[in-house]
């Protein structure tokens, strides 16, 4: 948290100010920030920075965070996932950065990353944007089209959604003859489902899924455009184009419900038995703002249940463990007379292994550890280096991408500290936890992570508090031709085994060596090889000599200046090519020559 000098107040941190002023905390370190309350939700389009007036204090780089409530911050990232912004080179010039994607938020937080080494943190800041008017809703809203012929052949629904739950029916569109489609959240992903029949037993047909981590309590933009057999589904800045089944061609939407699990006419439950819990805003269907219509009592809109025009949401403070040295240490003493204690928390990670928490057992002289191993949750009790007890909670999620979000309850006699993540003593053989945690509680009392951030409670290192910094590198998937995407905290991987393609992103049909062609049963001949997989070198036509007993030698064919290919070859033979031009070569009768580059 920034600690401000009285004569360097936040009020002086605005641009332009050519008199004395600017923000400068007492201590210049990585724990400072400047937070701005814009007073209302605002569409922020750009930011500009300047150093502190008449000084050597300016920022060389910084991060931007946004929030609606002043908690649960989200880092702004550019299109290429770069999370920092270039700052200033002096104290006077103004550097403006236009956001590639405007952000709607009330609070903005700027975190200095690097500053002038000859000075200290110093900043004047300006934000650019405009007020953002909206109405938020919850529960159930139903819109019914009036009688008469349709005037449009294209249906478009747009809305913004925020939720803490990872499952629930978001939107349902009912058509004629019992046809319907719905958008539903499942494990934080958005599913597009089609149904045929009004009965509750009608099985949905899953057409597509898009995005993930939609339960992060931040606003997400959702759009659905239906035209004939073509449907475009958009979440935030990613669009998926889907061809719908022919039997749903005459969907002809006549009723639209949001947050509902049953039709207005039948009052029968459909497949999903979970209502959507969260907030909606800017719900527009074919140009009509349905929330505005509901607010003014339009008869085409029916409100069912507890619908409000404000977004009452719980505040959830998350904490991110970005590296192997990240840990959180909290005091923990049994409060009940029986000495029983409990721990509760939710966590999310892509990794299949990692140490979640460690605590001592003073009365038994041992230590207990809760950790992930091969996507299974395990509890281990050790004493003197010997394992006394090990329990497994089973596989948490058996899919190509592991997203864990489970609430845990433990009970044991504890009078010590508890370590979340990190590397405490004798844990060198455990993988570090990389991910996010939230809703931490000890003995059924919620842990105040803001107090931790202010260093008023416990101890921590290398944590990102009040935000979840997890990134989904598989949404959208970079794997081509049906390759399956999986990921860890830092990288993603494409499984191309069932796609018929190879390469890092399943993009090529060519082998990487002559040896691979030989193993496929090919004889000597010309083949294309892709020596660097998904690298910058294009596939090369080579002659593969399959007659060798120990190895298979490729010969590059028609290569002139492919230095990258030559540098990656095990062996290179150069052939000189002479072209007769009726001129002398050195001092002998004959020809002039042109030589290809030397072998590397």
DSSP characters for 473-512? TTSS----TTPEEEE-SS-EEEE-TTTT-BTTTT-B-SBS
Is the domain of 459 the same as that of 502? no
Is the domain of 298 the same as that of 326? no
pTM, 2 dp? 0.66
Domain span holding position 551: 490-567
Is the domain of 272 the same as that of 156? yes
Is the domain of 177 the same as that of 159? yes
422 CB-near residues (< 8 Å, 6+ apart): 321, 325, 326, 327, 328, 329, 355, 432, 433, 461
Instruction: Single out the residue of 316, 350, 293 nearest to residue 135, CA to CA.
Output: 293
Percentage helix, strand, coil for the chain under 3-state DSSP, each rounded to 5: 5, 45, 50
Tell me the two tokens of residue 365: 């002289």
Is the domain of 436 the same as that of 496? no
Is the domain of 353 the same as that of 272? no
pLDDT per residue, tens digit, the chain (600 aa), is 543 332 333 444 555 544 457 899 988 988 899 999 988 888 898 999 999 988 999 999 999 999 888 888 888 887 655 678 899 999 999 999 888 888 888 899 999 999 999 999 999 999 888 776 554 445 678 888 876 666 667 889 999 988 888 888 888 888 877 788 889 998 889 999 988 876 555 678 888 888 888 888 888 999 999 888 889 999 988 899 998 888 777 777 888 888 755 544 444 434 444 678 888 888 899 999 988 888 888 888 888 776 777 776 667 889 999 988 899 999 987 555 555 668 889 899 999 899 999 988 777 778 889 999 888 888 888 887 788 888 877 544 433 233 333 444 444 444 578 999 976 555 667 889 999 999 899 888 899 998 999 889 999 999 999 888 888 888 888 888 888 999 988 889 999 888 888 778 888 778 888 888 887 788 888 988 887 766 667 788 888 888 865 555 555 444 443 454 555 556 666 665 555 555 555 555 544 444 444 443
What is residue 594's predicted lDDT score, i.e. its pLDDT?
44
The answer to whether 493 and 487 have CB atoms below 8 angstroms apart is yes
In a domain, 484, yes or no: no
In a domain, 475, yes or no: no
Is the domain of 461 the same as that of 344? yes
The last residue of one of the domains, among 131, 156, 188, is 131
The last residue of one of the domains, among 304, 332, 364, is 304
The answer to whether 90 and 58 have CB atoms below 8 angstroms apart is yes
The answer to whether 430 and 369 have CB atoms below 8 angstroms apart is yes
Is the domain of 144 the same as that of 170? yes
Neighbours of 177 (CB within 10 A): 11
Q: Give the three-class secondary structure for 243.
A: strand
In a domain, 323, yes or no: yes
Is the domain of 231 the same as that of 116? no
In a domain, 204, yes or no: yes
What is residue 56's predicted lDDT score, i.e. its pLDDT?
93
What is residue 2's predicted lDDT score, i.e. its pLDDT?
45
In a domain, 76, yes or no: yes
- CATH number, position 196: 2.60.120.200
Is the domain of 218 the same as that of 337? no
What is residue 596's predicted lDDT score, i.e. its pLDDT?
43
Is the domain of 268 the same as that of 330? no
Instruction: Single out the residue of 122, 453, 222 nearest to residue 318, CA to CA.
Output: 453
Token pair 């949401």 is found at 313
The last residue of one of the domains, among 304, 330, 361, is 304
What is the tally of structural domains in the chain?
4
DSSP 45-74: EEEEEEPPTTSS--EEEEEEEEESSSSSBE
In a domain, 263, yes or no: yes
In a domain, 509, yes or no: yes
The span from the CA of 15 to the CA of 18, in Å, is 9
Is the domain of 154 the same as that of 27? no
152 CB-near residues (< 8 Å, 6+ apart): 286
The span from the CA of 23 to the CA of 55, in Å, is 12
What is residue 585's predicted lDDT score, i.e. its pLDDT?
54
258 CB-near residues (< 8 Å, 6+ apart): 137, 140, 141, 142, 159, 170, 171, 172, 276, 280, 283, 290
């Amino acid at each position: 948290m920034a600690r401000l000098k009285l004569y360097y107040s936040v009020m002086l941190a605005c641009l332009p100010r050519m008199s004395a002023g600017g923000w400068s905390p007492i201590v210049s370190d990585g724990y400072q920030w400047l937070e701005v309350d814009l007073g209302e939700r605002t569409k922020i389009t750009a930011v500009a920075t300047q150093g502190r007036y008449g000084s050597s204090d300016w920022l060389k780089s910084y991060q931007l965070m946004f929030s609606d409530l002043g908690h649960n911050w989200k880092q702004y990232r550019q299109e290429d996932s770069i999370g920092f912004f270039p700052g200033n080179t002096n104290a006077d010039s103004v550097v403006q950065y236009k956001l590639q994607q405007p952000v709607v938020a009330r609070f903005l937080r700027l975190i200095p990353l690097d500053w002038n080494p000859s000075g200290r943190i110093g900043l004047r800041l300006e934000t650019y944007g405009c007020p953002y008017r909206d109405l938020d809703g919850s529960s159930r809203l139903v819109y019914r089209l009036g009688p008469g012929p349709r005037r449009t052949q294209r249906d478009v629904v747009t809305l913004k959604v925020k939720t803490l739950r990872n499952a629930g029916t978001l939107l349902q569109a009912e058509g004629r003859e019992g046809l319907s489609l719905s958008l539903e959240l499942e494990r934080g992903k958005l599913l597009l489902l089609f149904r045929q029949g009004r009965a509750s037993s009608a099985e949905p047909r899953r057409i597509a899924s898009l995005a993930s981590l939609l339960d992060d309590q931040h606003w997400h933009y959702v759009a659905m455009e239906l035209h004939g057999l073509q449907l475009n589904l958009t979440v935030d800045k990613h669009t998926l184009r889907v061809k719908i089944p022919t039997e749903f061609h005459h969907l002809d939407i006549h009723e639209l419900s949001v947050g509902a699990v049953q039709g207005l006419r039948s009052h029968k439950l459909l497949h999903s038995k979970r209502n959507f819990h969260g907030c909606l805003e800017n719900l527009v269907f074919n140009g009509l703002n349905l929330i505005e219509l509901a607010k003014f009592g339009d008869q085409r809109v029916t409100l069912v249940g507890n619908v409000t025009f404000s977004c009452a949401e719980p505040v959830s403070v998350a904490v991110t463990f970005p590296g192997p040295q990240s840990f959180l240490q909290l005091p923990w003493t049994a409060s009940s007379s029986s000495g029983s204690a409990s721990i509760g928390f939710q966590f999310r990670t892509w990794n299949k292994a990692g140490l979640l928490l460690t605590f001592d057992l003073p009365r038994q002289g041992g230590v207990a550890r809760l950790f992930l191993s091969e996507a299974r949750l395990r509890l281990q009790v050790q004493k003197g280096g010997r394992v006394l007890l090990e329990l497994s909670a089973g596989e948490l999620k058996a899919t190509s991408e592991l997203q864990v979000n489970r609430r845990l309850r433990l009970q044991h006699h504890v009078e010590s500290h508890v370590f979340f993540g990190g590397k405490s003593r004798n844990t060198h053989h455990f993988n570090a936890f990389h991910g996010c945690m939230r809703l931490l509680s000890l003995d059924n009392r919620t842990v105040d992570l803001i107090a931790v951030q202010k260093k008023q409670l416990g101890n921590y290192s290398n944590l990102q508090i009040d935000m979840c910094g997890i990134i989904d590198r598989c949404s959208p998937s970079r794997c081509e031709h049906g390759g399956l995407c999986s990921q860890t905290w830092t990288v993603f991987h494409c499984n191309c085994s069932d796609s018929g393609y190879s390469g890092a992103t399943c993009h090529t049909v060519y082998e990487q060596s002559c040896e691979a062609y030989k193993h496929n049963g090919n004889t000597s001949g010309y083949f294309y090889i892709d020596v660097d997989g998904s690298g910058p070198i294009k596939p090369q036509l080579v002659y593969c000599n399959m007659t060798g007993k120990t190895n298979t030698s490729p010969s590059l064919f028609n290569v002139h200046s492919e230095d990258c290919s030559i540098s990656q070859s095990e062996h290179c033979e150069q052939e000189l090519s002479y072209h007769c031009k009726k001129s002398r070569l050195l001092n002998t009768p004959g020809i002039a020559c042109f030589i290809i580059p030397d072998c590397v």
